[in-house]
Amino acid sequence: MQDIVLLEAVHKVYKMGEVAVTALNGISLTVKKGEFVAIMGASGSGKSTLMNILGCLDSPSQGKYYLEEIEVSNFSKNELAEIRNRKLGFVFQNFNLLSRTTVLENIELPLIYGKQLSKPDTDRVHQIIRTLGLEEYQKHYPNQLSGGQQQRVAIARAIANNPTLLLADEPTGNLDSVTSTEVMKVLCDLNCNMGITILLVTHENDIARYARRVIILKDGKVLSDTPSKSSTTPASQALCETTS
């Protein structure tokens, strides 16, 4: 199967005046189409730095990053922005929805920014809204929704332009455990039934078990890269079997 992500000996060094901080110290890994990967590790281990590079928000200091076989490690800021709009979807801990914009408009936004279409593909948008159970909230504003509903809007927005890769940094960090489970079920469903490739940062084992593969970082290196703990029946697989 095709590699969605290929990292070869990626280093990231932040220079702060005289001091250099090595945030990533030689990361090599591949992610194939349809994978669901959790990235874990202590605070300061390099998770956010890795996500920023994978998300084309930043470039490695050394090493190579291929996104769908295109080398993006030496891309300019503009080239990164362009590939980001075209190929990536993001979900954040704080939802990051536009507060004065309706649910429907929030979801349509990346399609307009992505300039894929002069007018949003309303069929696709409505299908996504149905999939995420947001039909009755289309005209609501984010502050009229619960945290879980807001995160579902953010996920809908992230997949609106049919991304190659969905990146989620602590997507359940601001949610209670019941709502977290709901959001993880949504992500599992998108992975199983729509084949969306997902990379998720979390520090909670209960969340990581929804992934099929867990990568643990330590001091900017891969400490372990293994099938999910409950890999005989990962939570995602159990869900897939009940939903498909």
Ligand X SMILES: Nc1ncnc2c1ncn2[C@@H]1O[C@H](COP(=O)(O)OP(=O)(O)O)[C@@H](O)[C@H]1O
Residue 23 interaction partner, one of Mg ion, ligand X, none, beta carbon < 5-8 Å per kind: ligand X
Is residue 202 involved in binding ligand X (CB under 6 A)?
A: no
Binding mask 47-86 for ligand X (x = CB under 6 A): xxx-------------------------------------
Q: What is the nearest approach in angstroms of Mg ion to the Cβ of residue 220?
A: 12
Is residue 237 involved in binding Mg ion (CB under 5 A)?
A: no
Site for Mg ion in 40-59 (CB under 5 A): 47-48
State the Cα torsion 82-86-92-95 to the nearest 10°.
Answer: 100
Number of residues that bind ligand X (CB under 6 A): 12
Sorted by sequence, the CB contacts under 8 Å of residue 3 that are 6+ apart come out as: 30, 31, 32, 66, 68, 69
Is residue 171 involved in binding ligand X (CB under 6 A)?
A: no
Is residue 202 involved in binding Mg ion (CB under 5 A)?
A: no
Q: Which is nearer to ligand X, 18 or 136 (CB)?
A: 18
Q: Which is nearer to ligand X, 172 or 237 (CB)?
A: 172
Q: What is the nearest approach in angstroms of ligand X to the Cβ of residue 63?
A: 15
Is residue 25 involved in binding ligand X (CB under 6 A)?
A: no
Is residue 16 involved in binding ligand X (CB under 6 A)?
A: yes
Q: Is 198 helix (H, G, I), strand (E, B) or coil?
A: strand
Is residue 45 involved in binding ligand X (CB under 6 A)?
A: yes
Is residue 19 involved in binding ligand X (CB under 6 A)?
A: no
Strand 70-71 with 62-67, pairing: antiparallel
Q: What is the nearest approach in angstroms of ligand X to the Cβ of residue 38?
A: 13
R_g (Cα) of the chain, nearest Å: 18
Q: In what order do the strands lie in the sheet with 70-71?
A: 19-32, 3-16, 62-67, 70-71
Closest CA to 188 of 150, 241, 121: 241
| Burial of 62 per CB tally in 10 Å (0-12, 13-18, 19+) | middle
Say how many C-beta atoms besides its own lie within 10 A of residue 25's C-beta.
18
State the Cα torsion 118-124-125-130 to the nearest 10°.
Answer: 170
Residues of the shown chain interacting with Mg ion in the complex, contacts defined by CB under 5 A: 47-48
Residues of the shown chain interacting with ligand X in the complex, contacts defined by CB under 6 A: 14, 16, 21, 23, 41, 43-49
